[in-house]
Amino acid sequence: MPSLISHAAVAVAAGAAFAPRDVSGQFWILAVLCSILPDADVFGFFFGIPYHHVFGHRGFFHSPFFGLLLSILAVSIFSRNTDVFSSRWFLYFIFFFLLAASHGILDAFTNGGLGIALLSPFDPTRYFFPWTPIEVSPIGVKAFFSKWGLAVMMSELQWIWLPSFIMVVLSTLIRGFVSRQ
Ligand SMILES: [Zn+2]
Q: Are 102 and 10 in contact (CB under 8 A)?
A: yes
Q: How many CB atoms lie within 10 A of CB 146?
A: 11
Determine the 3-state secondary structure of 134 from DSSP. Answer: strand
Question: Cα dihedral sign for 43, 59, 13, 133?
Answer: positive
The helix (H) or strand (E) run that includes residue 11 is helix 4-18
Q: Is the CA virtual torsion 15, 18, 24, 26 positive or negative?
A: negative
Q: How far is CA 159 from the centre of its chain?
A: 14
53 CA to centre of ligand 1 in angstroms: 15
pLDDT at 142 over 80: no
Q: Ligand 1 center to residue 105 CA distance, Å?
A: 9
Taking only the tens place, the pLDDT of each residue in 51-82 is: 999 999 999 999 999 999 999 999 999 988 77
Cα–Cα dist 93/85, whole Å? 9
pLDDT for 50 beyond 50 = yes
Compute the residue count for the chain: 181
Rounded to an integer, the average pLDDT of 18-47 is: 94
Confidence of residue 148 (pLDDT cuts 50, 70, 90): confident
Question: In a 3-state reduction of DSSP, which class is residue 116?
Answer: strand
Q: Are 140 and 127 in contact (CB under 8 A)?
A: no
Longest Cα pair distance anywhere in the chain, in angstroms? 59
Rounded to whole angstroms, the Cα distance separating 80 from 129 reads 37
- Per-residue pLDDT averaged across 3-14, rounded? 95
d(CA 129, ligand 1 centre) in Å: 15
Q: How far is the CA of 91 from the centre of ligand 1 (A)?
A: 25
Distance 41 CA to ligand 1 centre (A): 8
Residues 83-127: pLDDT tens digits?
A: 888 999 999 999 999 999 999 999 999 999 999 999 999 999 999
Q: What is the pLDDT of residue 2?
A: 57
